[in-house]
Amino acid sequence: MMRMMCAWGYRADVFIWGIIWSAIEIGLIIVAIYFIISSFRGTKSRSHKSDALEILKERYARGEISEEEYLERKKILEEK
């Protein structure tokens, strides 16, 4: 009788740990995919928009464009 309890207890323990590790692995995969997708999605739009605004500010500071042109282009960039 003691032998059956030990054998069943061992199998249950292995089964439970298998489920736990599988859940951890699936969770890590989901988190990794989320961060990869969010990093690609977020950097392209923010980086491009801020770069364009910086260039526009520099051109205005150098006197290459007028204040009216600066404000008009800034409005257009901020709408995107």
Residue 77: pLDDT band with limits 50, 70, 90: confident
| Rounded-to-integer distance, Cα 37 and Cα 42, Å | 9
Residue spans per domain, the chain:
2-79
Give the per-residue pLDDT at 1.
Answer: 41
Classify the C-alpha dihedral 30-31-36-40 as positive or negative: positive
Q: What is the DSSP string of the chain?
A: -HHHHHHHHHHHHHHHHHHHHHHHHHHHHHHHHHHHHHHHHHHHHHHHHHHHHHHHHHHHHHTSS-HHHHHHHHHHHHH-
Give the per-residue pLDDT at 3.
Answer: 47
Give the per-residue pLDDT at 8.
Answer: 53
